[in-house]
């Protein structure tokens, strides 16, 4: 069994939000609409036996989730939640960890039915009724028995189409930038904007401490089902939830003292030893004594020609798309900064047990990918190194990032993110159906100095660069993006050194100028 190859395949499925697990010797698959194409399905069948062996071993070693005792009131926060609570504690009013989503609904919507559906949704998921607290250094979460859903309404139907769209965008950004008080549930807000009788926008703003992107998808799907059931005066057909996120939090806390975790911490100490504490990117303004969370985005599109060249090299080297674009970002950062040794962070989903599949909550961990490269490497060599680094990271991904930071003890005197200041996100296209289309929201915030967010869709790969406006102007991000020309040539000639490609490009530019 080629474990490395299967880990790569599982990582690919995870990036596409495709979940697999074993049950009674069979492979069970959960996938968003359109994510599992014929090619992936055929590959699943080919790998079925080995994947079952891997999954069964992992599931056998993990203690199953079970409901907590009824008298459990103070639930421990997970390490990821502790990190977000501390950010909020030190930066009150920080809205960078709001998750704003908006969906266009081409239908009439009854506000009373929407309120009832939202109330039912909060009754179904305890995490939507959860608050966060500290008592003498002890961080815990508490579930309220009943909390009314926060549903707002704005009627824009009387405005002209141009004024309506402009007003909608302003209002969405204003709602996205409203902070939450983590001690006062609910930490999710719904708002319905009426554009006309048959066209509405449903806006959801939820704090990251109780949610991840998968949770947003679950909430949207279940809210629709509950709304339809309410309007038809019949119960929604939703699966039972035998355990809740609070049960998972208790379970996870018990896992933190295992020998496996300590062994993985040892790996990370060796892997990250000697890494410079910060990636020094050229920026328009000096680093402030206290940075804010305000940011902006610059759209990015990967040309089809570059996408195809990268796909060819990736196939030759057995690298996934995520690994490939991680290598692209590493090269861009090297070209822009001159740095040869730095880390890039990226989120990884941690829904490993079957019972967490329909659970709303925060199931993300941040992984650090150490990037070591020089201009004497070819793009093929860079990709190979990134691929191997990523596979090692996945093998040691059980350590919560917050626990890793405490173990590594990085210098925290500066207002900068520890271990990495640049991150990358790679998502598959989300098909939400013709009657519920996701629309763009830009909250005007940045969690890190710079983040490259890419989305694979039917037309190719596009996304944005999110950057901290305390540091960068849009022109700085344009300068980063200009490195794609070098990346394009590097992908075209993957065995040529980057320095040779740069030299040739400089000569061509000079000739063009003459």
Residue-wise pLDDT for 136-171, tens only, equals 889 999 999 999 999 999 999 999 998 999 999 999
3 state DSSP class of 232: helix
Element (H, E) at 49: helix 38-61
Instruction: Please tell me the predicted confidence (pLDDT) of residue 17.
Output: 67
Would the pLDDT of 1 be above 50?
no
Residue 372: predicted pLDDT: 97
253 is a domain residue: no
Q: Do 381 and 478 reside in the same domain of the chain?
A: yes
Q: Among 29-43, 66-80, 116-130, 156-170, whose mean pLDDT is lowest?
A: 29-43
Contact present, 482 and 505 (Cβ < 8 Å): no
Tell me, yes or no, whether 41 and 82 share the same domain. no
In this structure, what CATH number is given to the domain that contains residue 92?
Answer: 3.30.559.10
* Number of structural domains the chain divides into: 3
Q: Kindly list the distances between the CA atom of residue 39 and the CA atoms of 14, 45, 318, in Å, as whole numbers in the listed order.
A: 16, 10, 16
| 490, 370: one domain | yes
CA distances from 342 to 210, 276, 379, 409 (A): 31, 6, 17, 17
Any domain includes 275: no
Q: Where are the beta strands (DSSP E) in 171-320?
A: 188-196, 199-207, 295-302
Sign of CA dihedral 88, 91, 94, 97: negative
Geometric angle at alpha carbon 160, from 155 and 162, rounded to 5°: 105
Q: How far apart are CA 451 and CA 464, in angstroms?
A: 8
What mean pLDDT comes out for the span 282-302?
88
Q: Are residues 181 and 240 in the same domain?
A: yes
- Rounded CA-CA distance 162/139 in Å is 48
Residue 278 lies in a domain: no
Question: Helices 259-271 and 401-408, interaxial angle, to 10°?
Answer: 60
Look at residue 60 in the predicted model and tell me its pLDDT.
53
pLDDT confidence tier of residue 10, bands split at 50, 70 and 90? confident
For residue 336, count other CB atoms closer than 10 A to its CB.
19
**247, 280, 310: which is the final residue of a domain?**
247
CA–CA distance, 454 with 474 (Å, rounded to integer): 18
Query: What is the rounded CA–CA span in Å between residue 223 and residue 206?
Result: 14
Residue range(s) defining the domain that contains residue 18: 3-61
Task: Say yes or no to pLDDT of 408 above 70.
Answer: yes
- Rounded average pLDDT over 104-115: 95
432-475 pLDDT tens trace: 444 455 666 778 899 999 999 998 877 789 999 999 999 999 99
| Closest to 318 in 3D by CA, of 383, 377, 394 | 383
pLDDT value of position 507: 46
**414 pLDDT band (50/70/90 cuts)?**
low
Q: What is the pLDDT of residue 181?
A: 96
Worst-scoring range by mean pLDDT, 273-277, 351-355, 404-408?
351-355
- Residue identified by tokens 């679950």 is 218
Total-model pTM: 0.86
Residues 118 and 207 in one domain: yes
Quick one: pLDDT at residue 3?
61
Write down which residue in 214, 247, 280 finishes a domain: 247
Q: How confident is the model at residue 114 (pLDDT cuts 50, 70, 90)?
A: very high
CATH code where residue 23 lies:
1.10.10
- In a domain, residue 199? The reply is yes
Cβ neighbourhood burial of 288 (10 Å; 0-12, 13-18, 19+): exposed
Which of 204, 232, 247 is a domain's end point?
247
> pLDDT confidence of 4, banded at 50, 70, 90?
low
Pair 319, 398 in one domain: yes
Helix and strand numbers, DSSP H then E, in the chain: 15, 16
In 3-state terms, what secondary structure has residue 279? coil
Mean pLDDT of 316-321: 91
| pLDDT band for position 57 (cuts 50, 70, 90) | low
Residue from 253, 431, 257, 251 nearest 359 by CA: 251
Q: Are residues 30 and 177 in the same domain?
A: no
Do 106 and 236 fall into the same domain?
yes
| 2 pLDDT higher than 70 | no
- Burial class for 472, CB neighbours closer than 10 Å (0-12, 13-18, 19+): buried
Domain assignment present for residue 167? The answer is: yes
Question: Is residue 252 domain-resident?
Answer: no
Q: What angle do CA 21, 25, 26 make, to 5 degrees?
A: 55
The 10s digit of each residue's pLDDT in 192-209 is: 999 999 999 999 999 999
Asked if 57 and 93 sit in the same domain, the reply is: no
Residue 507 lies in a domain: yes
Same domain, 109 and 8: no
Please identify which residue in the block is written with the tokens 């008298």: 71
CATH number for 374: 3.30.559.30
Same domain, 369 and 222: no
Res 510 pLDDT > 50: no
What is residue 65's predicted lDDT score, i.e. its pLDDT?
81
Question: Band of the pLDDT at 58, cuts 50, 70, 90?
Answer: low
Summary mean pLDDT of the chain: 88
Pair 192, 153: CB distance under 8 Å: yes
| Per-residue pLDDT at 501 exceeds 60 | yes
Res 486: pLDDT: 94
Portion of the chain with pLDDT greater than 90, in percent: 66
Query: Is 302 contained in some domain?
Result: yes
* Residue 88 CB neighbour total at 10 angstroms: 23
Query: What's the whole-number mean pLDDT along residues 407-413?
Result: 80
pLDDT band at 488 (very low <50, low <70, confident <90, very high): very high
Closest CA to 55 of 21, 8, 13: 21
Extended strands (E) in 258-356: 295-302, 341-349
Peptide bond into 331 cis (omega under 30): no
Does residue 146 share a domain with residue 7?
no
pLDDT at position 434? 46
What is the pLDDT at residue 15? 66
Extract the tokens encoding 231: 């309007």
Q: What is the mean pLDDT of residues 284-311?
A: 90
């Amino acid at each position: 069994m080629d474990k490395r190859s299967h880990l790569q395949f599982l990582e690919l499925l995870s990036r596409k939000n495709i979940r697999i697990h074993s049950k009674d010797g069979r492979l069970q698959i959960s996938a968003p609409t359109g994510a599992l194409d014929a090619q992936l399905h055929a590959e699943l069948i080919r790998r079925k036996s080995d994947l079952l062996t891997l999954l069964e071993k992992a599931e056998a070693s993990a203690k199953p989730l079970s409901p907590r005792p009824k008298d459990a009131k103070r639930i421990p926060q997970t390490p990821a939640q502790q990190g977000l609570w501390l950010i909020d504690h030190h930066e009150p009013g920080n809205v960078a960890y709001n998750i704003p989503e908006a969906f266009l609904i081409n239908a009439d919507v009854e506000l009373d039915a929407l309120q009832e559906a939202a109330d039912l949704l909060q009754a179904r998921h305890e995490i939507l009724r959860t608050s966060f607290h500290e008592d003498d250094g002890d961080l815990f979460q508490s579930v309220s028995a009943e909390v009314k859903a926060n549903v707002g309404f704005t009627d824009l139907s009387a405005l002209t189409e141009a004024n309506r769209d402009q007003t909608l965008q302003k209002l969405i950004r204003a709602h996205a930038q409203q902070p939450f008080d983590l001690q006062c549930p609910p930490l999710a807000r719904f708002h319905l904007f009426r554009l006309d009788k048959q066209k509405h926008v449903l806006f959801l703003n939820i704090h990251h401490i109780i949610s991840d992107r998968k949770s947003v998808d679950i909430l949207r799907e279940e809210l629709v089902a509950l709304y339809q059931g309410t309007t038809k005066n019949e119960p929604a057909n939703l699966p039972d939830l035998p355990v809740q996120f609070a049960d998972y939090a208790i379970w996870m806390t018990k896992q933190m003292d295992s020998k496996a975790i300590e062994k993985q911490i040892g790996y990370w100490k060796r892997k990250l030893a000697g890494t410079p504490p910060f990636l020094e990117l050229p920026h328009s303004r000096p680093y402030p004594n206290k940075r804010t969370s305000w940011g902006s985005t610059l759209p990015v599109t990967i040309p089809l020609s570059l996408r195809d060249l990268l796909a060819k090299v990736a196939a030759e080297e057995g690298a996934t798309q995520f690994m490939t674009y991680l290598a692209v970002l590493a090269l861009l950062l090297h070209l822009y900064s001159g740095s040869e040794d730095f880390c890039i962070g990226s989120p990884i989903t941690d829904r490993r047990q079957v019972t967490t599949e329909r659970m709303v909550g925060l199931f993300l961990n941040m992984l650090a990918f150490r990037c070591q490269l020089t201009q004497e490497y070819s793009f093929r060599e860079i990709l190979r190194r990134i691929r191997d680094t990523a596979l090692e990271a996945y093998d040691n991904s059980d350590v919560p990032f917050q626990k890793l930071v405490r173990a590594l003890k990085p210098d925290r005197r500066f207002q900068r993110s520890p271990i990495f200041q640049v991150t990358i996100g790679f998502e598959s296209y989300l098909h939400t159906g013709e009657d519920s289309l996701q629309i763009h929201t830009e909250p005007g915030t940045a969690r890190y100095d710079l983040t490259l967010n890419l989305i694979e869709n039917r037309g190719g790969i596009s996304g944005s660069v999110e950057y901290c406006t305390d540091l960068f102007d849009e022109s700085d991000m344009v300068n980063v993006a200009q490195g794609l020309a070098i990346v394009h040539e590097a992908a075209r000639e993957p065995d040529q050194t980057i320095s040779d490609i740069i030299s040739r490009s400089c000569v061509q530019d000079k000739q063009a100028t003459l």
